[in-house]
Structure 1
Amino acid sequence: MLLAIDAGNTNVVFAVHDGAEWRGRWRIATRADRTSDEYAVWLMALLQHCGLKVADIDRCAIGTVVPAALYNLRRLSREWFNVEPLVARAAVDWGFEIKVDRPQEVGADRLLNALASHHHYRGPLVVIDFGTATTFDVVDADGAYLGGVIAPGINLSIEALHKAAARLPRIGIGRPQAVIGRDTVAAMQSGIYWGYVGLIEGIVGRIQAEHDKHLKVVATGGLAPLFGEGTTAIETIDPDITLEGLRLLAERNPVTTSHKSIHRDSH
């Protein structure tokens, strides 16, 4: 089975795929100083809860945009699962061209999203990922990655608004009943929600115009369903795009050798 690890700026998502389906998905807050043993204690209990054993894991793929977290995630794979992990980076075989000036600067999550979206939906397409940043990535009909757009994430914008303006409270995100807010919180919620809908529609529209043909629009990330309700610009919502990218990348780049590690009787 494959252990897929998607380490973002806010959360690290762990998931297990048995070759036919995802057997479990779990997330933990991203913390660069979290040790491999801390990850293991937490993860082992969740695997057991789903009826899975350490011995079931024979492959591991890691995608991370937090370089400081990679060391301990690698140690987790090597020491607890006895598996040498595949790390998603520009140098591996993606199966498509990365047509940007500096491929090594492109976040692994963006390339993983491009890989899985093209595999499942074909192109040309735009992938919107509602994460710590809101990203728009463009994939052509052949699956090549063409670049994209990076905007501040929704929660980041809410936090910045609260911290920078003394009288504005911290709010939760939701779809307002009306555009015109009758109090401060409603006005802020409207500005964030409909402001981001405008961002989505505006950027997608400009990408479509620049590409000079229709592109399918696929959205992922925890807030994708919420914003999908507010605009017809989003055609498909797929919460597993990044994990699917890790699965597909692992299939293209098999790691055949196990890592020789210290035996742990507690397994």
Structure 2
Amino acid sequence: MKLLVDFGNTRLKWAIWKDAKHSMGGVFAHADTSLEAALSSNWAALGQPEAILVASVVNAELEQQLSELIKVHFDCEAEFVRSPAAAIGIRNAYAEPARLGVDRFLGLAALHASAQRAQILVSCGTALTLDAIDAEGRHLGGLIAPSPALMRSAVGSGTARVGEEHGELVEIATCTADAVWSGSVLSAVALIERFHATVVARLGAPVAVVGDGGGLEEWMHLLPNIERGRDLVVRGLALWSESGGR
């Protein structure tokens, strides 16, 4: 049994990898609770894993907290995976490979393992990230923007009279709440459409779009051809585990 941990900016997700299959264990928003209390509750009944792999995009302080909690619970060291220049079918486009978020790298690896085609991974959590690969697993690069939720938070906190009320999605708004809500969602959709068009033009071939992350649901219906991916970072960790990071 191996323990796989996806430590995102907002949520921590964990799963078990056993007998070439992964089973989701749990997920929680770590900003809303004590990391120690949540993990003690989540991992109380787990046996001793043979290895623990972590994909982390949080700061060094939170990583250290998690590392120490793992030592307490399991009396072993976790492996914090970093993005390499090439591994598990993906060739990283970054000149400094480790600066590509490991969640992005692992998500692309999971996509490429399931279908070797030109495709774009759209991940919507705290941030909105877009990454493209060709059919051979060559990473072409990507974009990072605020997610719609983060856009709304920024507008609400940075302006005097806008606020953060829930609005309705409309093409042309006639109230502030709808204007902010629709502006954030339609900005994300427009960015994805432009990025897709750019990658299609560059490759001269069809390019699939796959979305993952907790923020997809509010705008996914506006992109009828997008496919829904699930647990891609965890699946990428499983690939890393099986390959030994090669």
The normalised TM-score by structure 1 is 0.81
Q: Which residue identity does 1:54 align to in structure 2?
A: L
**Distance of aligned partners of 1:47 and 1:77 in 2 relative to their CA distance in 1, 3 Å threshold:** closer
**Distance of aligned partners of 1:6 and 1:21 in 2 relative to their CA distance in 1, 3 Å threshold:** closer
Equivalent pair of 1:132/1:153 in contact (CA under 8 Å): yes
Q: C-alpha distance in 1, partners of 2:129/2:83?
A: 18
Q: Would you tell me which structure has more strand in proportion to its own residues? A: 2
Q: Which residue identity does 1:114 align to in structure 2?
A: L
Equivalent pair of 2:118/2:208 in contact (CA under 8 Å): yes
Partner of 2:23: 22
Residue 91 of structure 1: CA displacement? 4.3
Residue 205 of structure 1: CA displacement? 1.4
Per-residue CA deviation, residues 177-224 of structure 1 (Å, 9 max, x unaligned), is x32223221222222222222222122112221222211111101122
Q: Which residue identity does 1:26 align to in structure 2?
A: V
Secondary structure, in 3 states, of the residue corresponding to 1:226? coil
Partner of 1:106: 100
Q: C-alpha distance in 2, partners of 1:131/1:46?
A: 22
Equivalent pair of 2:6/2:54 in contact (CA under 8 Å): yes
Give the alignment partner of residue 152 of structure 2, picking from 132, 151, 158.
158
Partner of 1:9: 9
Per-residue CA deviation, residues 218-265 of structure 1 (Å, 9 max, x unaligned), is 11011223322111352x1113111111111111128xxxxxxxxxxx
Equivalent pair of 2:85/2:97 in contact (CA under 8 Å): no
Give the alignment partner of residue 54 of structure 1, picking from 34, 42, 46.
46
Equivalent pair of 1:86/1:250 in contact (CA under 8 Å): no
Give the alignment partner of residue 180 of structure 1, picking from 169, 172, 177.
172
Secondary structure, in 3 states, of the residue corresponding to 2:223? coil
Partner of 2:200: 208
Q: Which residue identity does 1:6 align to in structure 2?
A: D
Residue 166 of structure 1: CA displacement? 1.1
The answer to whether the aligner puts 1:230 opposite 2:231 as a matched pair is no
**Distance of aligned partners of 1:91 and 1:78 in 2 relative to their CA distance in 1, 3 Å threshold:** farther
Q: C-alpha distance in 2, partners of 1:43/1:65?
A: 18
Partner of 2:132: 138
Q: Which runs of 5+ in 1 are unaligned?
A: 255-267
Secondary structure, in 3 states, of the residue corresponding to 1:206? helix
Q: Percent identity?
A: 26
Partner of 2:70: 77
Partner of 1:128: 122
Partner of 2:87: 94
Aligned residues: 242
**Distance of aligned partners of 1:188 and 1:93 in 2 relative to their CA distance in 1, 3 Å threshold:** closer
Residue 106 of structure 1: CA displacement? 0.8
Q: C-alpha distance in 2, partners of 1:79/1:92?
A: 33
Secondary structure, in 3 states, of the residue corresponding to 1:55? coil
Equivalent pair of 1:200/1:233 in contact (CA under 8 Å): no
Bigger Cα displacement from structure 2, 12-21 vs 57-66: 12-21
Per-residue CA deviation, residues 121-155 of structure 1 (Å, 9 max, x unaligned), is 22211100002221111112122323211112222
The normalised TM-score by structure 2 is 0.87
Partner of 1:63: 55
Equivalent pair of 1:98/1:145 in contact (CA under 8 Å): yes
Secondary structure, in 3 states, of the residue corresponding to 2:114? helix
Partner of 1:247: 238
Secondary structure, in 3 states, of the residue corresponding to 1:4? strand
Q: Which runs of 5+ in 2 are unaligned?
A: none
Secondary structure, in 3 states, of the residue corresponding to 2:219? helix
**RMSD value over aligned CA atoms?**
2.4
